[in-house]
């Protein structure tokens, strides 16, 4: 019986994949499987993964014929997963030895649907511990209660799928899959759905995931059209939250987060290619007009003056002629 399935997408990470694979080897057990998803890499990554299947216990290689992005690659791994529990890792990150065994012991002891962990952020040689924004540790909690308050960083603002472990019953209920085709912010609808629909979770003070920042091939470093998928991602968050029985309580948090992300991207608009920057402004304005306007008004009234002014100015932008398609998303 497979106890744990670990889904690990790879795309053009030949420089970093050996570290990732060595760390998986240091976490291997007879009842663990590592689902290595090659998302149509064009560098030396495929050869590295072929070698890993021979050298890493439990490694299974899954290949995409066309590049589908991180969300689709994770879904490929989830569809093949056989484990009682599921975890994620990205192909340019790595683990401390024995991390998965420790985390598995914790989630089994707690008996909850999922656990969330802290992680170590690595930028060059710098290391910093990033804490999951859940104050009560080692205690089973209701995920829905961890969404609020709207004005503070909460569990849904810590969307990293690899910072945790998940019981298979969530996979069987359709909660663990990612929005197909999203190239960025794919974890935002995912983390919101997880907290709305799962029954129980816990945060544990276990460090073992090393998250590599500043990777040149990462979409967070590239100012092209794929970055605008965050609009589709947050539109989904808003739509699904609006349909929730607790919409009145939860929508202010969803709208506030969406506004903060729009302000962040528009505040750094010079890093985008000029056509993408123009599209970012137009689509952001359309998104603001689609939001529940009463909720948006209250949110803007409580944000800091600079961001609120930027967002109000965006919302007032005239929609370009023939922009009906743009109003629907990115």
- In three-state form (DSSP H/G/I as H, E/B as E, the rest C), the secondary structure along the chain is CCCEEEEEEECCCCCCHHHHHHHHHCCCCCCEEEEEEECCCCCCHHHHHHHHHHHCCCEEEEECCCCCCHHHHHHHHHHHCCCCEEEECCCCCEECCCHHHHHHHHHHHHCCCEEEECEEEEECCEEEEECCCCCCECCCECHHHHCCCCCCCCHHHCCCCCCEEEEHHHHHCCCCCCCCCCCCCCHHHHHHHHHHHCCCEEEECCCCEEEEECCCCCHHHCCCHHHHHHHHHHHHHHHHHHCCCCHHHHHHHHHHHHHHHHHHHHHCHHHCCHHHHHHHHHHHHHHHHHCCHHHHHHHHHHCCHHHHHHHHHHHCCCCCCCCHHHHCCC
Q: Which tokens in the block code for residue 244?
A: 């929730």
Q: Say how far apart CA 64 and CA 280 lie, in whole Å.
A: 30
pTM: 0.92
Nearest to 113 by CA among 160, 170, 163: 170
Pair 228, 280: CB distance under 8 Å: yes
Structure tokens at 191: 């983390």
* Domain 4-218 listed as CATH 3.40.50.12780: no
In the numeric block, which tokens belong to residue 33? Answer: 């499987």
**8 and 35 in contact (C-beta within 8 Å)?**
yes
The domain ranges of the chain are 4-218, 223-327
Q: Compute the CA torsion angle 170, 173, 176, 178 (nearest 10 deg).
A: -170
pLDDT at 327: 44
For helices 229-242 and 247-267, the axis angle rounded to 10 degrees is 170
Instruction: Give the bridge partners for 63, in sequence order.
Output: 38
Sheet (strand 126-130) strand order: 94-95, 209-213, 119-123, 126-130
Distance CA 271, CA 249 (A): 35
Residue 326: what pLDDT?
43
Query: Whole-angstrom Cα distance, residue 24 to residue 37?
Result: 14
Q: Could you read off the pLDDT tens digit of each residue along the chain, which spans 330 residues? A: 999 999 999 999 999 999 999 999 999 999 999 999 999 999 999 999 999 999 999 999 999 999 999 999 999 999 999 999 999 999 999 999 999 999 999 999 999 999 999 999 999 999 999 999 999 999 999 999 999 999 999 999 999 999 999 999 999 999 999 998 888 899 999 999 999 999 999 999 999 999 998 765 544 445 578 889 999 999 999 999 999 999 999 999 999 999 999 999 999 999 999 999 999 999 999 999 999 999 999 999 999 999 999 999 999 987 664 444 344 444
Residue 319 has what pLDDT? 66
CA distance 241 to 265: 23
Q: Quick one: three-class SS letters along 196-233?
A: HHCCCEEEECCCCEEEEECCCCCHHHCCCHHHHHHHHH
């Amino acid at each position: 019986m497979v106890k744990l399935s670990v889904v690990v997408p790879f795309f053009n990470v030949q420089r970093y994949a050996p570290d990732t694979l060595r760390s998986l080897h240091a976490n291997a057990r007879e009842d663990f499987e590592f689902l290595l998803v090659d998302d149509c890499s064009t560098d030396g990554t495929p050869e590295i993964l072929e070698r890993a299947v021979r050298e890493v216990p439990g490694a299974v290689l899954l290949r995409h014929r066309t590049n589908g992005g991180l969300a689709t690659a994770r879904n490929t791994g989830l569809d093949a997963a056989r484990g009682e529990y599921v975890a994620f890792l990205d192909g340019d990150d790595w683990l401390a030895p024995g991390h998965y065994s420790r985390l598995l012991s914790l989630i089994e002891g707690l008996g909850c649907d999922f656990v969330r962990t802290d992680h170590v952020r690595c930028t060059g040689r710098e290391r910093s511990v990033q804490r999951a924004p859940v104050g009560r540790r080692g205690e089973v909690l209701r995920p829905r209660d961890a969404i609020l308050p709207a004005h503070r960083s909460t569990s849904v603002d810590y969307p990293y799928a690899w910072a945790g472990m998940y019981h298979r019953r969530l996979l069987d209920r359709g909660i663990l899959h990612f929005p197909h085709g999203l190239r960025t912010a794919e974890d935002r609808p995912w983390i919101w759905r997880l907290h709305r629909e799962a029954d129980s979770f816990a945060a544990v003070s276990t460090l073992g995931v090393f998250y590599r920042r500043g990777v040149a091939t990462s979409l967070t470093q590239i100012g092209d059209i794929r970055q605008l998928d965050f609009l589709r991602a947050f539109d989904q968050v808003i739509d699904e939250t609006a349909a929730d029985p607790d919409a009145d309580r939860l929508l202010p948090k969803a709208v506030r987060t969406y506004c903060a992300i729009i302000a962040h991207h528009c505040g750094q608009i010079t890093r985008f290619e000029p056509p993408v920057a123009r599209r970012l402004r137009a689509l952001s304005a359309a998104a603001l007009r689609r939001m529940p306007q009463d909720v948006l008004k209250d949110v803007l009234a409580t944000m800091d003056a600079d961001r609120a002014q930027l967002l109000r100015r965006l919302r007032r932008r005239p929609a370009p002629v023939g922009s009906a398609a743009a109003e629907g998303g990115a």
